[in-house]
Amino acid sequence: MKGNRQLHDAFSKRHPAVNFVFFLGVIVASALIQHPAYVLAGFVTGAIYYLMLNGAKGLKFLLLLLPVFVFVAAINPLFNTDGQRILCHVFGRPYTYEALLYGLALSGVIVVMLLWFGCYNQVLTGDKFTSLFGNLIPAISLLLVMVFRMVPNFIRKARQLAGARKSIGKGAGENATAKEKVTDGLTLLGALTTWALEGSVVTGDSMRARGYGTAKRSSFMIYRMTLSDWLLMAAMVLLLGLTLVAAYFGQTAAAFTPVMEIAPVSWGLCSYTLFLMIPILYHWKEAAQWYISRSKI
């Protein structure tokens, strides 16, 4: 759906499995870790990668995240009154320093997740998802592929139907009431359904005639795991594993209420940050390589 855009990012050109494992790791880790330093690392790397993917347009999204951050951070202390230092009383309930910090960390987690999901949507497009899961869930992947094709097709058909209705004086115009718009839209939807379902039966029969379901479905794989894919995968597993070890030793622990206890920053943060920077570093490496090989000519 968003695949026709030119992406100048080297990481998104790698095997979908590499992309998927990376984002799975990022999103699970950033949902679980609420240590402020780790959240900050997630935000900075996520923001850099998002800007690399979107260019200057990405700044708008980053600015939109600010109100989300402030809102969630400010609202949480209203419901969590634990904590030692009371800042003020809101509706007769204590609004504490610790709870505010906790709120900040938590809304940081949410913002980081939103940011990385934003990157995910750019990198793991529908075609990659279906090619990745085509063997594991063949019927559902096929369903998705068909849906991706049908949605734009149906919208085009619906425009034709609307045009035909308009030419015989039906349909909702510019200044129609909401009720007219709804009735008109639903009439269109009904007409579209008839057309689409008739077509679907024909498609289904055609698929059967061509032997769908007679043997195990094989799928054409456009992507192959190359050496650099395996290397990236190994780096990801290693760095994420190190972070996990660090988490096991309590390096990512951060408790805010009732008593604030934040683990000191140690090597775990390095491995986590390096893990998050994999797409950025990989892109820089490719760009440098390209620059060097071009300058040799």
Partner 1 sequence: MKKSHIATLITFFLLIPATLFLGAKLPGRTYYITGTLIILELMIPFFMAFEGRKPQARELVIIAVLSAIAIAGRVLIPIPDFKAIFGVIMLAGIAFGPETGFMVGAIAAFGSNFVYGQGAYTPWQMFSYGAAGMLSGFAFGKGRLPRKAWLMGIFGFVTVVLVVGPILDSMSLFLGFVKPSPEAFGLVFIPGFAHNCPNALCTAAVMLILGKPFLSILNRIQVKYGMLT
- Residue 125 as a binder of partner 1 (CB under 8 A): the answer is yes
Residue 54: count other Cβ atoms within 10 Å of its Cβ: 17
As a whole number of angstroms, the distance between CA 41 and CA 280 comes to 13
Q: 179 to 238, contacts with partner 1 by CB under 8 A?
A: 181-183, 185-186, 188-190, 192-194, 196-201, 203-205, 207-208, 212-213
As a whole number of angstroms, the distance between CA 274 and CA 266 comes to 14
Between CA 86 and CA 92, with CA 91 as vertex, the angle to 5 degrees is 55
* Residue of 66, 117, 163, 166 that binds partner 1 (CB under 8 A): 117
* Residue of 11, 120, 272, 275 that binds partner 1 (CB under 8 A): 120
- Residue 1 as a binder of partner 1 (CB under 8 A): the answer is yes
The residue to which tokens 């425009």 are assigned: 159
As a whole number of angstroms, the distance between CA 272 and CA 36 comes to 13
- Residue 135 as a binder of partner 1 (CB under 8 A): the answer is no
Task: Please report how close the Cβ of residue 32 comes to partner 1 at its closest, in angstroms.
Answer: 6
As a whole number of angstroms, the distance between CA 30 and CA 92 comes to 34
* Residue of 32, 64, 164, 238 that binds partner 1 (CB under 8 A): 32
- Residue 144 as a binder of partner 1 (CB under 8 A): the answer is yes
β partners of residue 255: 261
- Residue 266 as a binder of partner 1 (CB under 8 A): the answer is no
* Residue of 178, 215, 292, 297 that binds partner 1 (CB under 8 A): 178
* Residue of 21, 87, 114, 262 that binds partner 1 (CB under 8 A): 114
Residue 150 vs 235, nearer CB to partner 1: 150
As a whole number of angstroms, the distance between CA 155 and CA 249 comes to 54
- Residue 254 as a binder of partner 1 (CB under 8 A): the answer is yes
The residue to which tokens 């369903």 are assigned: 143
| Cβ(98)–Cβ(256) below 8 Å | yes
Using CB under 8 A as the binding criterion, the count of chain residues that bind partner 1 stands at 73
* Residue of 22, 43, 95, 102 that binds partner 1 (CB under 8 A): 102
In this chain, which stretch among 7-15, 40-48, 77-85, 270-278 interacts with partner 1, using CB under 8 A? Answer: 77-85
Closest by CA position to 279, among listed 18, 43, 77: 18
* Residue of 41, 52, 110, 246 that binds partner 1 (CB under 8 A): 110
In this chain, which stretch among 4-12, 115-123, 266-274, 284-292 interacts with partner 1, using CB under 8 A? Answer: 115-123
273 alpha-carbon distance from chain centroid: 19
Indicate the length of the chain as a whole number. Answer: 297
